[in-house]
A and B are shown apart, each in its own frame.
Chain A
């Protein structure tokens, strides 16, 4: 049973560029959450997707956008990259459902994508 997978593992971009990160959830999971984790810090919630819609959003600018596909996989897009966007981007999947919330469902994290913005 495959766990959560993310691609690419590492990525180097320059300021102003755009990046797309990808995530495939654990088999049977339908909810995907994205987090940004700066070095030495805890993860910061970006947004959560369920049934191809953004269900929750953290305090991140509109430069951060996402998408969920019918097979529950997800993409995170970041436009106009800033140096401060350099971080580990984590994807977490869980089993959601109508009315369910992150709180009650254990999230399984992928290995992350290390983004470096130069």
Chain B
């Protein structure tokens, strides 16, 4: 079966760095998305990785290892507004998005 695993909840301190991990098992693989979703709001796009390596975009970076079925989202200089759920979604061989349940990130002052 197809499966996406990510931690349910994480807590971090304002100004710190946090890494949210995601492991995936899909039938075929055509890339991985990270989305941010604030409570009661729609998901917003953060990143898309299809090649191995790290992609940096401001305070957010995303890493992919296709051989390990693993990705992480790195958030630096955390701000209170970063409190949200972070959703990992892998694209399978049918080009369908397989979503994780999301990681709820709590930022403390």
User: What residue in chain B is nearest A107 (Cβ atoms)?
Assistant: B45
Q: CB of B60 within 8 A of chain A?
A: no
Contact (Cβ within 8 A) A42 B87: yes
Contact (Cβ within 8 A) A42 B48: no
Chain A, 16-74, CB within 8 A of any chain B CB: 40-45, 56, 58
**CB contact under 8 A between A101 and B42, given known A42-B99, A56-B95:** no
Q: Measured between C-beta atoms, what is the minimum distance from A52 to chain B in Å?
A: 19
- In the bound assembly, the distance between CA atoms of A43 and B101 in angstroms comes to 8
Contact (Cβ within 8 A) B30 A109: no
**Other-chain contact of A111, B4, B41, B45, B95 (Cβ < 8 Å):** B41
User: What residue in chain A is nearest B87 (Cβ atoms)?
Assistant: A42
Chain B, 63-109, CB within 8 A of any chain A CB: 87, 89, 91, 94-97, 99-102
**CB contact under 8 A between A101 and B48, given known A41-B102, A42-B87:** no
B interface bracket (residues with beta carbon within 8 Å of A): 20 to 34
Interface string of A91-118 (1 = CB under 8 A from B): 0000000000111101111111000000
Q: CB of A76 within 8 A of chain B?
A: no
Contact (Cβ within 8 A) A108 B45: yes
User: What residue in chain A is nearest B95 (Cβ atoms)?
Assistant: A101
Chain A residues, Cβ within 8 Å of B96: 45, 56, 58, 102
Contact (Cβ within 8 A) A45 B97: yes
Q: CB of B44 within 8 A of chain A?
A: yes
Contact (Cβ within 8 A) A103 B44: no
Contact (Cβ within 8 A) A103 B102: no
**CB contact under 8 A between A40 and B30, given known A45-B96, A102-B91, A106-B48:** no
Top 9 closest A-B pairs, CB basis? Answer: A42-B99, A101-B95, A109-B42, A103-B91, A103-B30, A106-B45, A42-B101, A103-B95, A43-B99
Besides A41-B102, A108-B45, A112-B42, 4 more A-B contacts (Cβ < 8 Å) are A43-B87, A56-B94, A56-B96, A104-B31
